[in-house]
Amino acid sequence: MKVFIGFLFTFLFTIQNFAQTLNPFHQTLANQVSQSNILQHLTDFENFGVKTFGSQEEDEALNWLISFYQSMGYTDIETQTVSAYGETGSNLIVTKTGTVYPDTYVIIDAHYDTINGPGTNDNGSGTSILMELARIFANVQTEYSIKFIHFTAEEWGLIGSQQYVDEVVIPQNLDIRLVFNIDQVGGVAGMNNNKVVCEKDIFQPHGNDSESAQITQELSNCISLYSDLGTVTDIAYGSDYIPFQDAGYVITGLYEYNESDHPHTPTDTLENMDPEYVFQIAKGSAGALAYFAKAYQNMGVNDSDLNRFIVYPNPADQLITIKAQPTNQLKQISLIDFSGRTVFQSAEKLDRDLIISTSQLPNGNYILRIDQNSYKIIVQHK
């Protein structure tokens, strides 16, 4: 939960949709969000008890998260020790490498420490959503790298995220496309929870404000496209994106529209929130993560063909890459435009990745042929 001091006004206004179109592949990802998985994660989170920064309960929740990411096949799993006020806890950082921009990160984050209660809304809700998205994205290719970050010590004053920014982000000069923070999106039991607040940056430094407004608009559009929820925009404040914004990075976030009274009390439990609302937010967030990280599908015609090739990105802008698949035999590779004209032709052993430039090709649909396999490729210049 966040307490906003310093302004006496809040502004809310409805966002109008502009032409950000539904991506069918991103929709299939959003539709993979499972209500029962969300419910299971919320229940497990609640059962760990009060996960105060530095407590054994928090440590048990950390180990549960690590085991979860391992079971999903993630291998780049790091913890960062966070120390403050004589206590010690850990941030958890799980990285999925992008295919086109491996050194540029989309960060999606949620704190997992709680205070005075089990924190099933604040912030079991955000924690559960990250876990469900990590499951769905485990085997999906994205152009940008994704970091799933579970911060500690948020409730003690954004300490975990501040130490991550101070000790990792700034020293390593991390190239971060945006920070997408999810905190307290559990809703209120018995209410009609049909809207979510999309949060944008209005604070100093102001150099990142217009980009934050832009991506917050895009987040809002994704929520509309991939969930049943409506959106409003409001100010980003009082959660783990703030240390990033202070350092000049572009941030956005989600927060519940009907604000619960239970966070930071022993009654912040599943029965006082709305798990169907968390499910809807997870769907919208899956669409948004797919959009921000540019998730794409390998468009093999013969999907059951075990010998199919990995071709990315699709749509392509400057180039397409065919992943190496070494063999002794030459493979006949060609790229054919919509009129049937061959625009690229080569015979390759594919003992290394083959990169084909698409920078000179007009936008449109193409067929890539590798021996008898055909792939539909879209060239779309940015």
Minimum Å gap between C-beta 276 and Zn ion is 20
Minimum Å gap between C-beta 236 and Zn ion is 13
User: Interface mask (CB under 5 A) for Zn ion, residues 271-300, using x and -?
Assistant: ------------------------------
* Residue number, 145 or 272, with CB nearest to Zn ion: 272
Sequence-distant contacts of 20-24: CB under 8 A, at least 24 apart: 20/218, 20/221, 20/222, 20/225, 20/291, 22/225, 22/226, 23/287, 23/290, 23/291
Buried b / exposed e across 156-184, counting CB within 10 Å, b at 16+?
bebbbbbbbbeeebeeeebebbbbbbbbb
Interface with Zn ion in residues 110-149 (CB under 5 A): 122-123
Q: Which of 291, 116, 269 is nearest to 220 (CA)?
A: 291
The answer to the question of residue 162 lying near Zn ion (CB under 5 A) is no
The pairing of beta strand 175-182 with beta strand 230-235: unpaired
Minimum Å gap between C-beta 111 and Zn ion is 6
* Residue number, 57 or 209, with CB nearest to Zn ion: 57
Minimum Å gap between C-beta 1 and Zn ion is 6
* Residue number, 93 or 254, with CB nearest to Zn ion: 254
Give the HSE-up count for residue 90: Cα atoms under 13 Å, Cβ half-sphere.
18
Minimum Å gap between C-beta 115 and Zn ion is 9
From CA 351, how far away is CA 80, in angstroms rounded?
Answer: 38
* Residue number, 125 or 227, with CB nearest to Zn ion: 125
Segment near Zn ion (CB under 5 A); pick from 177-185, 286-294, 296-304, 346-354: 177-185
Segment near Zn ion (CB under 5 A); pick from 92-100, 132-140, 179-187, 364-372: 179-187
Minimum Å gap between C-beta 251 and Zn ion is 15
Segment near Zn ion (CB under 5 A); pick from 32-40, 134-142, 184-192, 350-358: 184-192
* Residue number, 123 or 216, with CB nearest to Zn ion: 123
* Residue number, 198 or 354, with CB nearest to Zn ion: 198
275-293 and 124-137 helices, crossing angle to 10°: 50
Minimum Å gap between C-beta 51 and Zn ion is 12
The answer to the question of residue 199 lying near Zn ion (CB under 5 A) is no
Residue of 46, 143, 183, 234 that binds Zn ion (CB under 5 A): 183
* Residue number, 123 or 208, with CB nearest to Zn ion: 123
From CA 203, how far away is CA 67, in angstroms rounded?
Answer: 37
Minimum Å gap between C-beta 269 and Zn ion is 15
* Residue number, 184 or 314, with CB nearest to Zn ion: 184
Q: Which of 126, 125, 116 is nearest to 267 (CA)?
A: 116
> Which stretches of the chain bind Zn ion, using CB under 5 A?
122-123, 183-184
